[in-house]
Amino acid sequence: MGNLLQRLTIEPFERFFDKVIQFLPTLITSGFILIAGIVIGVFLKAVFLKLARAVKLDAVSERSGIIDLMRKGGIKDSVSVFLSKVIAWITIAVFAVISMRELQIPAVERLFENLLLYLPNVFAAALILLFGYLLGNFFGRTALIASVNAGIKLSGLISRFVKFTVFILAGTMALEQLGIGRGTIIIAFAIVFGGIVLALAIAFGLGGRDIAKAYLEKKLTEKEEKDEIEHL
Amino acid sequence: MNGTVLRKEIQERIDEIKEADILVGIPSYNNARTIAHVVKAVHAGFAKYFPDKKCVLVNSDGGSTDGTMSVVQDATIEDSLSILLHHRIVPAFKITTPYHGIPGKGSAFRTIFEIADALNVKACAVVDSDLRSITPEWVELLVKPVLDGGFDYIAPLYHRHKYDGTITNSIVYPLTRALYGRRVRQPIGGDFGFSGNLAKFYLTKDVWNTDVARYGIDIWMTTTAIANDFRVCQSFLGAKIHDPKDPGADLSAMLHQVVGATFDLMDTYSGKWKAVKGSEPTLTCGFQYAVGLEPVSVNLDRMIDKFRLGVNELKDIWREFLPEDVMKFLYKAGKQPKKKFHMPDDIWAEIIYGFAIAAHKKMINKEHLLKSLTPLYIGRVASFVIETWESSAEEVEDRIEKLCITFENKKDFLMDGWDR
């Protein structure tokens, strides 16, 4: 009877205790790794902040328009503070993954492995979006100035069209990079883009038939009155 | 300096000529229609004014497809006795060569400087290939001050139509005069004389991959000569009449190259111009006389429309670097009736200085910055045309003088913004 009681109550507790004793060093090591990660993250954040201020990163980002992008996205920090925070969190996340692996729990290991493998896609997508934003603004402004100098009244519209085309293209590429609806996104983009072009062609073809006719007639038959001012 | 390698046949020709006293360069690109007249005038100038000097004519061509180079080779003075009082003692040489590098006037000039350097010439001149009003006297007027007067740089002085050279009159002349304190009336005139030493000095500068290789060459030559204390004078050449420029030539690209080169030079010589106050006249050679000039047609409505379009669409770009009072004026001017359209001198000076400061501080992409100046420039020209429609050439000159004084008086605005 006494033997049975020992097998039912004391032995499981003893086994549990043994496992806890066995697991404790791993848990402590894991905890240390996590704490080290936090300390290193904070240290790297401080170092990056100093470096960024030395190279005047905030002034450069102000000029390049990155700061506008961040404000529109609801980020109120300066670029240097934002990037330093990102660096700190990436460091902490990497150390967290290492500390979790140290625990040797299969389910957690798999989860973090998948997350780790997916992270580069997130970074690549973020980079694509950032470059897309910068390029969209740049090409939009180029188109605006060129069309204003050519005297085109719809300059603003042309500029916005160029800008948003680049934005949409970047968004599509970013989503594709993240693996979200791969085929669907590309097909949707092609349909939307093709649709816009077709709609514009039909609109101009039907609505602007007379204007186009008058314009062509003017170009082919009349000589436009030109300035004879010699600029140089 | 990254020197270009002259073609083998040109090197052989240089070895054959060995040394020369005078070199006149003619840059060209598809100028078969006009270049023969220029070549003949230069040859007549050599024969008439420098019969005992060894003279070389260099045509530096940008790959013409209309036979410009063969026209140069074939051009001769048919009846020299009717033109000349003297026969030449020393024959004049002719070199025609395509140039290397970025397509543009500056690259053509670089080849001319290199040949001048190789021939160790004493005096050089460059003249445009589309000139219709060039005479043999131009050669004398551009070269003699170097040979006899000891000058290093001779800028041209012409009588031009009041609406000719509007970039010069509204930007380059007032700005360079206020900056460097020398009144050189045609700093980008296109026809210049210079000493062999100055040609060698130009070649030491590594600028041939910038706007200097294109339309920026003229202002670069003038500013380099003034800022490096070379002896500068100007020669009165009479009227400047030339073929209309290529109608396809883009005004904003031209403005970008000329103004961009001027702003780059402001960075290079900031130590020089900051110390300058006011301006002093430049010695003028040659006998000045009045000339008749053909009237030009101006489409004012279209110019004002372009200015208004610019104000509507580009105001957000300009707001980043132009002062508040200038922006307020531009909003108001954009809505003014065409007949009352007016852009005052002080506003125009602040606009140009504002653009110069923005370029110096790299506040926005340089190409965007300079090309966004086009509608403002067109607005300023329109305002000038309205204001001077009834004015004589002398009155217009007085008007330009007033603008220059405004630029000089507003220089503190530039200095404050430059260092802030």
Q: What does the mean pLDDT of chain B come to?
A: 88
Same domain, B375 and B270: no
Tell me, yes or no, whether B186 and B269 share the same domain.
Answer: yes
Of the residues B253, B285, B317, the one at which a domain ends: B285
- Kindly list the distances between the CA atom of residue B26 and the CA atoms of B99, B130, B376, in Å, as whole numbers in the listed order: 12, 10, 33
Whether B199 and B109 have beta carbons less than 8 Å apart is answered as no
* Total domain count, chain B: 2
Cβ partners under 8 Å of residue B240, min gap 6 = B131, B133, B156, B158, B159, B160, B164, B189
Half-sphere exposure of B50 (CA within 13 A, CB side): 29
CATH number of B122's domain: 3.90.550.10
Closest chain B C-alpha to A60 CA, distance in angstroms: 9
Asked if the Cβ–Cβ distance from B314 to A148 is below 8 Å, we say yes
Is residue B293 assigned to a domain?
A: no
Average pLDDT, chain A: 81
Lowest mean pLDDT among A50-64, B172-186, B329-343: A50-64
Chain B residues within an 8 Å CB radius of A145: 252, 314, 317, 368, 371-372
pLDDT of residue B368: 92
Q: Which of A146, A148, A228 sits opposite B309 (nearest CB)?
A: A148
Which pLDDT belongs to residue B1?
46
Q: What is the mean predicted confidence (pLDDT) over A173-202?
A: 79
User: 231-260 in B: which are within 8 Å (CB) of A?
Assistant: 244-245, 247, 250-252, 254-255, 258
**Residue A72 pLDDT > 70:** no
Min CA distance, B247 vs chain A (Å)?
A: 9
For position A73, what pLDDT does the model report?
60
Residue A111: CB partners within 8 Å, gap ≥ 6? none
Task: Name every residue whose Cβ is closer than 8 Å to that of residue A21 and which is 6 or more positions away in sequence.
Answer: none
Q: What is the pLDDT of residues A143-169, one digit of tens each?
A: 999 999 988 888 999 999 999 989 988
Whether residues B367 and B271 share a domain: the answer is no
Arithmetic mean of pLDDT, A2-31? 83
**What is the model's pLDDT at position B140?**
95
- Tell me which range, A55-59, A83-87, B154-158, B301-305, is most confidently predicted by mean pLDDT: B154-158
Given an 8 Å threshold on Cβ–Cβ distance, is B255 in contact with A232? no
Question: Does the distance separating the beta carbons of B299 and A226 come in below 8 Å?
Answer: yes
Are A142 and B368 a contacting pair at CB < 8 A?
A: yes
Query: Which chain B residue lies closest to A143 (C-alpha atoms)?
Result: B368
> pLDDT (tens digit, 9 = 90+) per residue, A80-114?
888 899 889 988 988 888 888 787 778 877 887 78
Q: What is the pTM of this model?
A: 0.79
A38 is in which domain, residue-wise?
1-104
* Residue ranges of A 153-172 with Cβ closer than 8 A to chain B: 153, 155-156, 159
Within a domain: A30: yes
- Note whether residue A20 is domain-resident: yes
Residue in B247, B251, B305 closest to A231 by CB: B251
The minimal CB distance from A155 to the residues B313, B363, B368 is found for B313
Choose, out of B313, B318, B373, the residue to mutate when testing the contact with A (most A CBs < 10 Å).
Answer: B313
The whole domain housing B320 covers 300-419
Q: Does A26 touch chain B (CB under 8 A)?
A: no
- Give the pLDDT score at B132: 87
Task: Please tell me the predicted confidence (pLDDT) of residue A144.
Answer: 95
| A208 inside domain | no
Residues B217 and B95 in one domain: yes
**Residues B68-110 pLDDT 10s:** 888 888 877 665 545 455 555 567 888 988 888 788 888 899 9
Q: How many domains does chain A have?
A: 1
Q: Which residues of chain B make contact with A144, given a CB cutoff of 8 A?
A: 313-314
- Across residues A26-43, what is the average pLDDT? 91
Higher pLDDT, A136 or B248: A136
Percentage of chain A beyond pLDDT 90 is 20
Q: Is A229 helix (H, G, I), strand (E, B) or coil?
A: coil
Q: What is the mean pLDDT of residues B329-339?
A: 87
Say how far residue A143 (Cα) sits from the centre of its chain. Answer: 25
pLDDT computed for residue B235 by the predictor: 95
Q: Which residues contact B252 (CB under 8 A, 6 or more apart)?
A: A145, A146, A149, B371, B374
Of A144, A153, A227, the CB nearest to B299: A227
- Length of chain A, please? 232
B396 vs A: CB within 8 A? no
Sign of the torsion formed by the C-alpha atoms of B251, B252, B253 and B256 = positive
Alpha-carbon gap, residue B198 to B23, rounded angstroms: 13
Nearest CA-CA distance, residue B36 and chain A, Å: 23
For residue A155, tell me if it sits in a domain: no
If asked whether residues B71 and B178 sit together in one domain, one would say: yes
Query: Taking the CB of residue B256, how many other CB atoms lie within 10 A of it?
Result: 23
Please judge whether B381 and A229 are an interchain contact, meaning their C-beta atoms are less than 8 angstroms apart.
yes
Taking 80 as the threshold, does the pLDDT of residue B291 lie above it? no
CA distance B96 to chain A (A): 26
Q: Within a domain: residue B410?
A: yes
Let me know if residue A97 belongs to a domain: yes
| Token pair recorded at residue A26 | 């791993």
Instruction: Tell whether A228 is covered by a domain.
Output: no
Determine the average pLDDT of the residues in B208-236.
90
Beta carbons within 10 angstroms of residue B115's beta carbon: 26
Query: Quick check: ipTM above 0.85?
Result: no
| pLDDT over 90 (residue B38) | yes
Closest CA to B294 of A222, A225, A230: A230
Of A145, A225, A232, the CB nearest to B372: A145
